[in-house]
Amino acid sequence: MFALARYSYRNLRVRHLTTVLTAGGMGLVVFVFASVLMLAEGLQKTLVNTGSRDNVVFIRRSSEAEVQSILPREQAAVLENLPEIGMDAGGKRLSAREVVILIGLKKMGSATVANVLLRGVNAGASFDLRPQVHLAEGRPFNPGSSEIVIGRSIARRFVLRGLGQTIDFGARTWTVVGIMDASGTGFDSEIWADVDLLMSTFRRPVYSSILARLQTPSGFTRLKERILGDPRLTVDTFRESEYYAAQSELMAKFIRILGISLTLIFSVGAVIGSMVTMYAAVANRITEIGTLRALGFHRGSILAAFLLESLFLSILGGCLGLAAASTMNRLTISTMNWQTFSELSFSFTLTYQIVFSAFAFAVCMGLAGGLLPAFRAARMDLVAALRP
């Protein structure tokens, strides 16, 4: 078997130009395939990492996102005082009332205006409940003042770029006093301001959501049952991590279905290219095949030799495609979050599972392209192959 593998490998080296071109075609398909999976993985990772399993989010029942939710003050007071909600060292409930509003913001170097999520937060509690969020520059906003803190992605992609810059919305002029780094999560694409001031500015008498820390992670089921049995409350309860994971599910599924469909179409061309290459290899090596048969190699060995040759091509193409896809790790893009209708920035993410899937896809293409030519070589008549 080793001798056959070496024979197949040396034949690819001899036909180096054809090998590179065929492997390059497969590599392009693998690149598209891996990039699509990396795109969906990056989107899900950004949103899943946004939430914490120890936190719970309360939104209006049947609402899919905070931007659609309405929570009256009376219900907010009841939720904050449920026994499953944790307390800090001073006996204060670990909860934050928040409001979510969409505003239009112009992108840097473009006339395009995109929706950006403006979040009204409690100056202390909202930051404490999200330890992954910290200020990279500047300071927190002062409660009751027209000051905002922007995410790092907002500072990079929109005209509101740095400290001291101002923006007008809600009949007020707001000043950037801090830039927050949310460790690549969805909060990097948000603007934070004082919740009470935002509610008065936009004449909004209700909250969008309540964020709270569980006293114990195991208390979630008991908390959910208590809320469902309380006639005063019309809210749905989610673990924060599960809430953000659900937001990414629809879009990630769409990206995968669309991308893989296109990849399968492209793969047909790559398989045909591989098949043509292997048929040409069989046609050019008829005498060699006859000699191998005369030396005692069975049809199965000839079949294995040409299949190995096709697999070597696919593995080379897989390596080229993954090498190109790995460079996408440094690329950050933005798109609209279909659940909140706001701009969301995220990066391509390469994982071991994607590497395995890409190689498996390349091997499948190699087998599909090499199987028929290999059968032709194995079924070749010995006398006809040695005939001058």
> 205-227: per-residue pLDDT in tens?
999 999 999 998 888 999 999 99
| Lookup result for tokens 């899943």 | 48
> 25-48: per-residue pLDDT in tens?
888 889 989 999 998 888 888 877
> 331-365: per-residue pLDDT in tens?
887 777 767 767 778 888 899 999 999 999 998 88
The fraction of the chain above a pLDDT of 70, given in percent, is 88
Buried b / exposed e along 41-64 (16+ C-beta atoms within 10 A): bbbbbbbbbbbbebbbbbbbeebe
> 120-165: per-residue pLDDT in tens?
998 888 989 998 888 999 999 999 899 999 999 888 888 887 898 9
pLDDT at 198: 93
- Answer with the residue of higher pLDDT: 67 or 284: 67
How many angstroms separate the CA atoms of 309 and 238, rounded? 53
Exposure on the CB side of residue 251, measured as CA atoms within 13 A: 24
Q: Please answer whether residues 268 and 32 qualify as being in contact, where contact means their C-beta atoms are separated by less than 8 angstroms.
A: no
Reduced to 3 states (helix: H, G, I; strand: E, B; else coil), residue 232 is coil
> 61-113: per-residue pLDDT in tens?
988 888 889 999 999 999 999 999 998 888 888 999 999 999 888 888 777 88
* Longest pairwise C-alpha distance within the chain: 96
List the Cα angle 133/138/140 in 5-degree steps: 60
The whole-number average pLDDT for the span 247-267 is 80
pLDDT at 48: 73
